[in-house]
Structure 1
């Protein structure tokens, strides 16, 4: 059990769990179009064990029991994502009524159980037909995404407690177009530079579209790390500054201040879209809240001669099963930094969690959540306006390039039988959230 009481967070604090469509839904068919993750995962060598999201957790059919788990755990809210190719199979044009009906059922099921729907429009499953047209490298994606946002607002907006445009733009752009680790798997500097800007331009365009359709409580979800230098040598400090600029400041500065860090724009000067500066007013449209996903820190040192200018190195802290350092103080530091340097709008921790070896008894995960929730309380004591916390993830699920090899769930999933079994970490949240002493 956790070492604090729900009342420590105040009566209006939102506790939730998070998932993403491609990672849990399955249900391929039913009019759904292909996504870039269907083709990326079908390509040998891209994903551990060749795993795909074809079946995943079969949430498409088993959603009632999954919502029951959220309700029975005492959670206030469910952060989920709409699948763009399920709603608009070609990315633009004809709407798939079966997809609309599925999300109607899902949303009505949440409301019937007293669960607040926190929606994300895009959690990485771009329709393949739009990738054929350049995907995030094509400026037109802002208009495609805006039209999709309008559809979501018109069909579902009256039932959504909050809506985020995009989940983790660093992953959408840099991880997927420069490092090549996620779909579409590019390793190209020009592709990355275009995607980095277009993903934020599309975000702003979608905010305009959502507001025009009457949608309320709008935000974006950024993944942030605590960037630290390997040593106090000037070259390592400089490497850390660049790492922080690429991972954190590009997206924070763009979205909240309409300004990209100069160290990044200088590096990408020959590759960024022409006249991108004219888009910055749209990129930085006012938001109602900001979501922060946090998992670990990044340690940077200067690169070796003939190699990359900067490199990331592993630290000596205890690590999760995916190899990420457990560093709760980094969460406190980030929340305070964002609230003091960037914005006074409400903040939500929209993802936080750990991969752990298979098993229903997960004491390290219980301790992980205990320590990170304490970090949230510490940041609030220092003035950060944090309104909620979403655990990643409700279920063990398809962990992108790791396939089914890593388990983040509060609930164990047997992928052969689809049986759900709550873990000790789920029971700890249940005890916290049902405890009103």
Structure 2
């Protein structure tokens, strides 16, 4: 394996390249029933038998709500330029609309101020899957009104935090929470219904457009983007049925959101299915100008035909001889490079890698150290792939590693650790892993190189 430093032919990154880490509210905050926070769809989802590994919940998670100063200190020690986090909609609006929870807003005030004092730029994501349960009970994303409820929530955050936050993302991973929430029952709200899935796709797109307009109106100089989970979809085996399944999943996973948002139209098969739900003027409401494309990427998806599935496709398996990084996800750095180039050519917009990282079952050794060479090896080859994409013309302006902390990994619960920092979930103790030191060193060398002091 070639290290990045062994590749002098690759060009340097931009002088203003942003190095960061990412988290999300429900995955780290805890304090699920404290200081006026209302329940979200994930609080309910975690109570469904068998929905989450080991019956885990986000009730306490990393206890970031109480321990955020310690986590900001870790980020400062790491040397990152920026921190991407999300606001919990039910923490600031317990019922999703109406009465505001001042204690929830004050928590994010403290966090944002602490980041700025540490010299770390806050990148605020408005929605990372935690829809207030009260709004779901009114129809949630399957109801067109939800786009308006989201716009009102975005306005609340913009007015409160816009004096200090310049970087905003409307949503995280549109395709994941709509597909797994409304067609494949792997995530909240655990609905399996084609009609509701289609409605959710369109209404979330409308919400995105409304959110962009709100941020433009209320935050002068805002830098606005959206975060998409994109991976090449490949047939599990080369049969006509599997190729057809891969093509349809590609539309639902990779094209259903960036195409209408950036190109002004849905991909062809989805456009036909959505025609009954699209009102006059909707596409113009969705296709609002943004400043950057947020990419979350880990590896390609393998699709297979599944006649029993909601859409006739299912998740396939990667080739058995492909190396993986400890959680059954195959390592394909060339797919990361190719995805960056695909986005650059299709959408012609600056790209920020908002998530990339490696899971595992990391644990302290007898000395208390947490060694994770598999994560370092993964990051080495993916960082090289990023540079190869830049050399080929992709305008990549930042990289946010997932994640700062081991956290609640949705359906995997606490058994799948992605953090640079090990968290003992019984005590909350934080222990930086070997990869923490690797990333800190990488950032320090990059900053030294761009300042001419290397």
TM-score range for the pair, normalised by the shorter chain length: over 0.9
Change (3 A) 1:306 1:79: closer
Structure 1 residue 311: Cα displacement: 3.8
- Partner of residue 392, structure 1: 402
TM-score under structure 2 normalisation?
A: 0.91
CA contact (8 A) 1:2 1:366 kept: no
Say yes or no: does 1:341 pair with 2:346. Answer: yes
Say yes or no: does 1:292 pair with 2:295. Answer: yes
Aligned pair partner of 1:245 in 251, 267, 279: 251
Query: Within 2, Cα distance between the matches of 1:306 and 1:158?
Result: 47
Aligned pair partner of 2:375 in 365, 368, 376: 365
- Per-residue CA deviations over 1:231-275 (Å, capped at 9, x if unaligned) read 555544333222211210112211111111112233x35xx6533
Query: Within 1, Cα distance between the matches of 2:47 and 2:140?
Result: 19
Say yes or no: does 1:282 pair with 2:288. Answer: no
- Per-residue CA deviations over 1:61-111 (Å, capped at 9, x if unaligned) read 100110111111111110000011111111111111111111110000000
Query: Within 2, Cα distance between the matches of 1:196 and 1:212?
Result: 25
- Partner of residue 91, structure 1: 96
- Per-residue CA deviations over 1:269-300 (Å, capped at 9, x if unaligned) read 5xx65334631111111101110100111123
Query: Within 1, Cα distance between the matches of 2:311 and 2:292?
Result: 36
Say yes or no: does 1:109 pair with 2:114. Answer: yes
State the Cα RMSD in Å: 2.0
- Partner of residue 375, structure 1: 385
- Partner of residue 265, structure 2: 259
Query: Within 2, Cα distance between the matches of 1:308 and 1:202?
Result: 24
Query: Within 2, Cα distance between the matches of 1:77 and 1:274?
Result: 39
Aligned pair partner of 1:222 in 228, 237, 240: 228
CA contact (8 A) 2:194 2:310 kept: no
Deviates more, 1:384-393 or 1:248-257: 248-257
Structure 1 residue 48: Cα displacement: 1.0
How many residue pairs get aligned? The number is: 433
Structure 1 residue 144: Cα displacement: 0.6
Structure 1 residue 361: Cα displacement: 0.6
Change (3 A) 1:39 1:262: same
For 1:13-92, what aligned pairs fall within 5 Å after superposition? 13-28=17-32, 29-92=34-97
Query: Within 2, Cα distance between the matches of 1:311 and 1:406?
Result: 23
Aligned pair partner of 1:166 in 171, 175, 195: 171
Say yes or no: does 1:3 pair with 2:17. Answer: no
Deviates more, 1:134-143 or 1:211-220: 211-220
Query: Within 2, Cα distance between the matches of 1:73 and 1:310?
Result: 42
Aligned pair partner of 1:322 in 324, 327, 336: 327
Aligned pair partner of 2:440 in 427, 430, 433: 430
Structure 1 residue 320: Cα displacement: 3.1
Structure 2 gap ranges (5+): 364-369, 449-453
CA contact (8 A) 2:11 2:387 kept: no
Structure 1 gap ranges (5+): none
Structure 1 residue 185: Cα displacement: 0.5
